[in-house]
Amino acid sequence: MRDIALVAFAQTDHRRTSDEHSEVEMLMPVLHQVLDRTGLKTADIGFTCSGSSDYLAGRAFSFTLALDGVGAWPPISESHVEMDGAWALYEAWTKLLAGDADTALVYAYGKSSPGSVRDVLTRQLDPYYVAPLWPDSVALAALQAQALIDAGHTDEPALAGVAARSRRDAADNSHAQLRGSVPHGDYLVRPLRTGDCPPIGDGAAAVILAAGDRARELCERPAWIRGIDHRIEAHGLGVRDLTDSPSTRLAAEKAGAFELPHGLKGMGGAPTVDTAELHAPFTSQEVVLRKALRLDDSVRVNPSGGALAANPIMAAGLIRIGEAAARIHRGESDRALAHATSGPCLQQNLVAVLEGDPR
């Protein structure tokens, strides 16, 4: 199988609103940055794939207009997922694995400011039994948080600790929307307080993937993708055990997270990674993911601040993979796990394992 690496990553400064920019105006600088970092031009890219959702801005086929920022003439090989960009990256990765391209540009964006995200996200729920009740995204996360508290996996002070650690780490991340000391706040939907919830904002991100020697030409220390897998659970919330995330654990297993570097078989215990970028928009979801992935204190979790510091919907998962790769590029990590989620209460989960060359 070909070696494929993430060789460049760029993201916007994430903000509560970006009225002055259309989606393509917000996205374009990020596309230019990521291309500049590799010296590649649009014409050099073998495959382009994006992730976004029309429901956020309330406009149909918005991804086709965003393509203007790529420069899609003469014609390019392009695809789109109505999902977080992490899933677009998965599609691009398989395209490169199959040998259909040597380089890929993956980007994702979301403008949440025009609408009300809590209401918009109800439209992804079961349309017969659940969506007619309009349970918003915070309410569903709060049900999961209460289940965790009842099961003794966490309590409100521990959740406040997750929030404080995330925003403290984000102080070093100039792109983050919520940084430093943030009040834990009042209940939004009890037991979740405003501090347990992600900021609502607009933003975009882009990465470049390359295969084999091409990756080495483009990046001093490529972040090699050792495996990616994604799994889904039943849509019925009452069917699932909300205190666990078996789909995350299975995706991590299949992506090789529990194996030793370079293909040596591990013991199936804790993941052999030094960094984990987890897409946990709510503090309580970090508790679920840490348990599902058996992460102990030796693993640096969300040094970027994670989704609690910036959660541009449809881009936040891709940003986790980008942040993990950037740590490998900078030599701050040798083997990192990146996770992306979609759907209510961690319904769908993607795990990628990234590695730098041995030093």
Residues 6+ apart with CB under 8 A from 338: 86, 276, 277, 320, 321, 323, 324, 325, 351, 352, 353, 354
Query: Which of residues 13, 37, 44, 67 is near another protein by CB under 8 A?
Result: 67
Nearest distance in Å: CB 250, another protein? 14
Nearest distance in Å: CB 133, another protein? 6
Q: Is residue 114 close enough to count as binding another protein by CB under 8 A?
A: yes
Query: Which of residues 44, 97, 115, 294 is near another protein by CB under 8 A?
Result: 115
When the beta carbons of 23 and 334 are compared against another protein, the nearer one is 23
Query: Which of residues 3, 68, 78, 332 is near another protein by CB under 8 A?
Result: 68
Q: Is residue 239 close enough to count as binding another protein by CB under 8 A?
A: yes
Task: Name residue 155's amino acid.
Answer: D
Helix (H) or strand (E) run with residue 287 in it: helix 283-293
Scored b (16 or more CB within 10 A) or e, 228-267 reads: bbbbebebebeebebbbbebbbbbbbebbbbbebeeeeee
Query: Which of residues 16, 36, 39, 65 is near another protein by CB under 8 A?
Result: 65
Query: Which of residues 3, 13, 24, 212 is near another protein by CB under 8 A?
Result: 24
Q: Is residue 318 close enough to count as binding another protein by CB under 8 A?
A: no
The DSSP call for residue 122 is: G
Nearest distance in Å: CB 268, another protein? 23
Q: Is residue 130 close enough to count as binding another protein by CB under 8 A?
A: yes
When the beta carbons of 31 and 307 are compared against another protein, the nearer one is 31
Query: Which of residues 85, 110, 135, 203 is near another protein by CB under 8 A?
Result: 135
Nearest distance in Å: CB 333, another protein? 32
Locus of tokens 């014409």: 43
Q: Is residue 234 close enough to count as binding another protein by CB under 8 A?
A: yes
Query: Which of residues 16, 77, 134, 330 is near another protein by CB under 8 A?
Result: 134
When the beta carbons of 186 and 297 are compared against another protein, the nearer one is 186
Task: Name residue 22's amino acid.
Answer: S
Query: Which of residues 3, 71, 124, 332 is near another protein by CB under 8 A?
Result: 71
Q: Is residue 196 close enough to count as binding another protein by CB under 8 A?
A: no
Decide: helix, strand or coil at residue 318: helix
Structure tokens at 109: 């964006």
Nearest distance in Å: CB 288, another protein? 13
Locus of tokens 């946990």: 280
Contact stretch for another protein (CB under 8 A) within 89-97, 140-148, 266-274, 306-314: 140-148
Q: Give dist(CA 9, CA 33) in Å, integer.
A: 8
- Cα 71 to Cα 75, 81, 102, distances in angstroms: 9, 19, 19
- The strands making up 78-81's β-sheet, listed across from edge to edge, are 78-81, 47-51, 103-111, 202-211, 4-11, 223-232, 348-355, 335-342, 275-277, 300-301
Q: Give dist(CA 239, CA 140) in Å, integer.
A: 14
Q: What is the dihedral of CA 93, 68, 31, 117, to 10 degrees?
A: -80
Question: Given the rule CB under 8 A, which residues bind another protein?
Answer: 19-25, 28, 31-32, 42, 55, 57-59, 65, 67-73, 113-116, 118-120, 122-123, 127-136, 139-140, 142-147, 150, 187, 189-192, 234, 236-239, 242
